[in-house]
Amino acid sequence: MLLRAHARRFETGAAGSRYSAHAGRPRDALFPPNIGNYADMTLTELRYLVNLDKERHFARAAERSFVSQPTLSVAIRKLEEELGVQLFERRAAQVALTDIGERVVMQAKRVLDEASAVREIARLGRDPLSAPLRVGTIYTIGPYLLPGMIRQLQKKAPQMQLLLSENFTVRLLEQVRNGEIDVAILALPLPASGLSVQPVYDEPFVVAVPRRHAWTRRRAIASADLQTETMLLMGSGHCFRDQVLDVCPELSRSPEATGSMQRTFEGSSLETIRQMVATGIGVTVMPRTSTPVRVSRQSLVAYLPFRNPPPSRRVALTWRRSFTRSAAIEALRRAILDCPLEGVEKLDAPIDVV
């Protein structure tokens, strides 16, 4: 009789299930409310979530997601109901993440990155060089490296389409981390980011002066001499500006400081600054690749080397460690190394993580 009673309990259970090893415990203890709804969470909802975090505004996030604002609002509300927590604080002009929302967004970015890796792995199985490669560069590298790099890459991987963009270092690092681009070409050092980094070349700086400047009779320029000149600098936000200030710290002093430079002017690009030098406004520092290989006698700008050892910058590739198309990164690296970059030192450096 005892054996038959046990058998009946095994078959029916406390709630009519086939097995009830937890008979007597409340059903909610085994299946908390909404736990089944977690399976309804979609990658699309997670993308909406990440875009709303970026924009902190429903209308702009909807535009970024290519959907209407009501569609995005309903999706975010549905996600909050599924998770049982509030992810955003709604305000009049914008929204803000809650504490738990910040953690959820961080995990959502990881999930989207891993989902993207699934597609890349499948693509890798077919041909790692057949898919487009999204490459970003900073403004002081792109115009001078990309033309030659593209020609070299067309020889090595003619089937791989390049999608190119230019931006500031901080923005490019964010785009790499978020999966908006695959690889960035930047100047070191970089802030800690957890990204893979591989140096490709060292590039010296040169001094650009008006053709009639007294320095054109010199063989080389000392960094300290810059503080006596009217100096032309890139605007705030450009990492090259910071690199120039490292070359001559006196440039960042106030005009009233003893021995400081006379004054400074700022330009939005190296080409703007070059034209300002040509008109005789002042002098500047430029990366070697931005200067002509041969300077004509009619040129209004002369380019002079620094005294040894010259200041320089190290240019590197950086990408997500989860990025699976290593063959595409290597093809890009080889294309850069094969570019005829006058005056730079090519590097065969190992991959690091910053």
**Residues 204-239: tens digit of each pLDDT:** 999 999 999 999 999 999 988 988 888 898 887 788
pLDDT digits 0-9 by tens, 307-348: 999 999 999 999 999 898 899 999 999 999 999 999 999 999
Report pLDDT for 19.
35
What confidence tier does 12 reach under pLDDT thresholds 50, 70, 90?
very low
Residue after which a domain boundary falls, among 82, 97, 123? 123
CB atoms near residue 276 (< 10 Å): 21
Can you tell me the mean pLDDT for 5-26?
Answer: 39
185 and 223 assigned to the same domain: yes
250 and 283 assigned to the same domain: yes
| 3 state SS of 328 | helix
Report pLDDT for 3.
40
96 and 211 assigned to the same domain: no
Report pLDDT for 125.
62
Residue after which a domain boundary falls, among 83, 100, 123? 123
What phi and psi, each to the nearest 5 degrees, are found at residue 186?
Answer: -130, 170
Beta bridge partners of 202: 314, 345
118 and 266 assigned to the same domain: no
Rounded to 5°, angle at Cα 181 from 331 and 138: 85
188 and 281 assigned to the same domain: yes
CB atoms near residue 323 (< 10 Å): 19
- Helices 69-83 & 58-65, crossing angle to 10 degrees? 100
What confidence tier does 250 reach under pLDDT thresholds 50, 70, 90?
low
Residue after which a domain boundary falls, among 97, 123, 149? 123
113 and 200 assigned to the same domain: no
- CA distance readout (Å), 267 to 209, 272, 281, 284: 15, 6, 12, 11
d(CA 280, CA 213): 8
**Cβ contacts of 44 within 8 Å, gap of 6 or more:** 75
**Res 352 pLDDT > 80:** yes
CATH label of the domain that carries residue 113: 1.10.10.10
pLDDT digits 0-9 by tens, 24-57: 444 343 334 444 444 468 899 999 999 999 999 9
CATH label of the domain that carries residue 161: 3.40.190.290
Between residues 78 and 262, which one has the greater pLDDT? 78
Residue range of the domain that includes 13: 2-31
251 and 179 assigned to the same domain: yes
352 and 246 assigned to the same domain: yes
Q: Where are the alpha helices (DSSP H) in the chain?
A: 2-12, 27-30, 43-55, 58-65, 69-83, 99-126, 142-156, 169-177, 239-247, 270-278, 326-337
Tokens of residue 75, six digits: 């999706």
Model pTM?
0.66
229 and 159 assigned to the same domain: yes
pLDDT digits 0-9 by tens, 151-202: 999 998 998 999 999 999 999 999 999 999 999 999 999 988 889 999 999 9
**Res 18 pLDDT > 60:** no
Report pLDDT for 252.
59
136 and 11 assigned to the same domain: no
Report pLDDT for 295.
84
**Cβ contacts of 324 within 8 Å, gap of 6 or more:** 117, 120, 121, 124
Domain count, the chain: 3
Report pLDDT for 242.
84
Report pLDDT for 277.
95
153 and 21 assigned to the same domain: no
d(CA 325, CA 121): 8
Pair 123, 130: CB distance under 8 Å: yes
119 and 132 assigned to the same domain: no
Residues recorded for the chain:
354
pLDDT digits 0-9 by tens, 254-304: 444 444 444 667 777 899 999 999 999 999 999 999 999 888 888 999 999
Can you tell me the mean pLDDT for 86-97?
Answer: 88
Pair 86, 80: CB distance under 8 Å: yes
Report pLDDT for 345.
96
Pair 30, 13: CB distance under 8 Å: no
